[in-house]
Amino acid sequence: MSAGMSMDEWNRAGIIHRELSYYKELSRHIGPLSFISYGDNYHDESQLLKQHIPDADIVWTRTPMFDQIPGSLFLSTFLPPLDIKSFSHIKRIRTNQISGAWTGAYIAKQLKIPFILRAGYILSKHIRHLSNIKRYMIHYLEKWTVKKADAMIVTYAGAKTFFVQQYHLDPQKVWIIGNPIDINLFAPLAPSVKKRDVLFIGRFTEQKNIPSILLACHKAQVSVTLLGKGPLKNEMLKLADSLNIDAQFIDSIPNKEIPQFMGNHRLFMIASLYEGNPKVLLEAMSCEMPCIASNIPEHIDVVNNEKEGLVVPSTPESLAHAVLQLLQFPDFARKLGANARMKILKAYSLKRNALRESQLHERMNYDNRLPFSL
């Protein structure tokens, strides 16, 4: 799992079903899975995991005593290799993200087994808020980890280009497999009266450019719902109040309930300044929502402008114009939503992605009798 992440964290965030449903499907192709977790209660972590994947197990958890040390979440990523005997039965290492992946790289090196690195996003591009020394450490660890990979999975073409050029990787070692979407869960609902206009889902951080969303909704005079938490939430509450717009703020809901929630809104908007392969955008597209996305490379890679959604500059004026365009031309909006759904079915479905990843493991001569660690 990623640095500091645990089954309990996934569960409290309401995303454990979203995260584990893919691994459950993948395990049908490659055999039983073992997880490194940074939770501090082995029993609880194991119980949560087995509720979703009965034959999976937790191979390592963090000791509670370590919590007393400053920076324990980061430092704990260097602990699993010290207990290398716990991993002696593992045949191959595959990571969830780059964050914390150096743990897997080192274990694979010690055991002399293949190491598959997955990067849902480019870690070194998501650390602008950190101090210079922390950014240097992350850049170093990312480079070291990428260089140790026997194969790499990225979620969009731009990430492959970055890693190949930045770290001189062999392009044939890098596979593009987009974020997996449960197309049965995230499916269009029966036509109904929409209660709200614009929906945003994400963390309240500078990256998500939420002020532009609120200002756009003010200019278009439409309602907006914002689902998520983050350090800028109070600031955004004050901005919405000062604009006197119809804005609803919701902390979180279970991932299983999000499709129904999406079905109550006319449009989905994401105005990020930078991204990876945004899963929430893919989920909205899978639900046939007409989507408006900022024109960053990561969104352009997903959405074909005016065919599967609208890709526009991230300014309030451009976003507001896109909102009004879709509300004024509902047939056009419905067509975009239908095309978006087809895109997800063809390129991002959970089963398709699991099958494709299993082909990578087959190429590395995976032995199905032995467990696989993440």
Residue 94 tokens, joined:
């595959």
| Global model pTM greater than 0.85 | yes
What's the mean pLDDT in 341-345?
98
- Give the pair of three-digit tokens for residue 41: 């209660």
Q: Given CA atoms 92, 147, 82, 3 in this order, what sign does their dihedral have?
A: negative
CB 371 within 8 A of CB 86: no
Decide: residue 68, CB within 10 A, 0-12 exposed, 13-18 middle, 19+ buried.
Answer: exposed
Cα–Cα distance between 285 and 256 in angstroms, integer? 16
For the chain, list the domains and their CATH numbers.
Answer: 7-180+350-373 (3.40.50.2000), 196-347 (3.40.50.2000)
Residue 373 is predicted with a pLDDT of 56
**Residue 243 to residue 164: CA distance in whole angstroms:** 45
Give CA–CA dist 266/351, Å, rounded.
28
pLDDT for residue 326 is more than 90: yes
Q: How far apart are CA 114 and CA 124, in angstroms?
A: 24
User: Judging by beta carbons within 10 Å of its beta carbon (0-12, 13-18, 19+), is residue 88 exposed, middle or buried?
Assistant: exposed
- Give the CA-trace dihedral at 172, 174, 175, 177, to 10 degrees: -160
Task: Encode pLDDT of 148-193 as tens digits.
Answer: 999 999 999 999 999 999 999 999 999 999 999 999 999 999 888 8
Reduced to 3 states, what is the DSSP secondary structure of residue 96? coil
- Report the C-alpha gap between 360 and 98 in whole angstroms: 18
Q: Where are the beta strands (DSSP E) in 178-312?
A: 196-201, 224-227, 247-250, 265-270, 291-294, 310-312
The model's pLDDT over 31-65, given as tens digits with 9 standing for 90+, comes to 999 999 999 899 999 999 999 999 999 999 987 76
Q: Are 199 and 268 in contact (CB under 8 A)?
A: yes
**Contact of 139 with 124, CB cutoff 8 Å:** yes
